[in-house]
Amino acid sequence: MIETPNKLLQAHECEALVITCMDFRFVAATYAFIRDELHIPTFDLFAIPGAAKGIAEKNQYVLHVPTLAKALHRIGSIILVNHERCGAYGISDPKQELEAHNRDLRKAKSILQNVFPDTPVQLFFAQIGDREVTYLAVE
Ligand SMILES: [Zn+2]
């Protein structure tokens, strides 16, 4: 049994939709980043390989999820988190990899802002350190 506040279980709205890679190496770190550094305690979570990649490639299922989150939970913002050494990208050169992620993150933001012009979209790229993950804001 996992104790969960009744107030949370009765809620119908949350602050954000987080779209991140499914990669298990980042699950705990990304949750902590959203909660503790962005100060967003409630969010819908959509974890898919490559995160922004599916939106940038206009995958219809992926594009449907933000619409659902908006309709069902009235999300106030969308947060996209891509990460270094992502198998969905499979790019070994770090510079080329960063360029590909930044390109897809920005393209995804543009696509989302066309559909949801009043919903802020934040972009992050998670970099792997020796013993930590650093979340860089992408403008
Ligand atoms: Zn990944």
pLDDT at 7: 87
pTM of the model: 0.94
pLDDT at 125 over 90: yes
Confidence category of residue 12, pLDDT binned at 50, 70, 90? confident
Please report where in the chains the tokens 């995160």 appear, as a residue: 51
Q: What is the CA radius of gyration of the chain?
A: 15
- Residue 6 CA to ligand 1 centre (angstroms): 33
Q: Which domains are assigned to the chain?
A: 16-137 (3.40.1050.10)
For 23-59, write each residue's pLDDT tens digit.
999 999 999 999 999 999 999 999 999 999 999 999 9
- Residue 49 CA to ligand 1 centre (angstroms): 5
- Residue 53 CA to ligand 1 centre (angstroms): 10
- Residue 86 CA to ligand 1 centre (angstroms): 4
For 84-124, write each residue's pLDDT tens digit.
999 999 999 999 999 999 999 999 999 999 999 999 999 99
Closest to 138 (Cα-Cα) out of 112, 111, 99:
99
- Residue 3 CA to ligand 1 centre (angstroms): 30
**Residue 56 DSSP SS3:** helix
Distance CA(115)–CA(11), nearest Å, equals 25
The number of CA neighbours under 13 Å toward the Cβ of 56 is: 17
Strands 133-137 and 121-128: antiparallel
- Residue 83 CA to ligand 1 centre (angstroms): 6
Distance CA(90)–CA(93), nearest Å, equals 9
- Residue 111 CA to ligand 1 centre (angstroms): 20
End-to-end, the C-alpha distance of the chain in Å comes to: 41
pLDDT at 83: 98
Distance CA(51)–CA(133), nearest Å, equals 17
- Residue 22 CA to ligand 1 centre (angstroms): 6
Distance CA(97)–CA(1), nearest Å, equals 41
For 55-92, write each residue's pLDDT tens digit.
999 999 999 999 999 999 999 999 999 999 999 999 99
Amino acid at site 27: V
Confidence category of residue 22, pLDDT binned at 50, 70, 90? very high
- Residue 104 CA to ligand 1 centre (angstroms): 13
**Residue 72 DSSP SS3:** helix
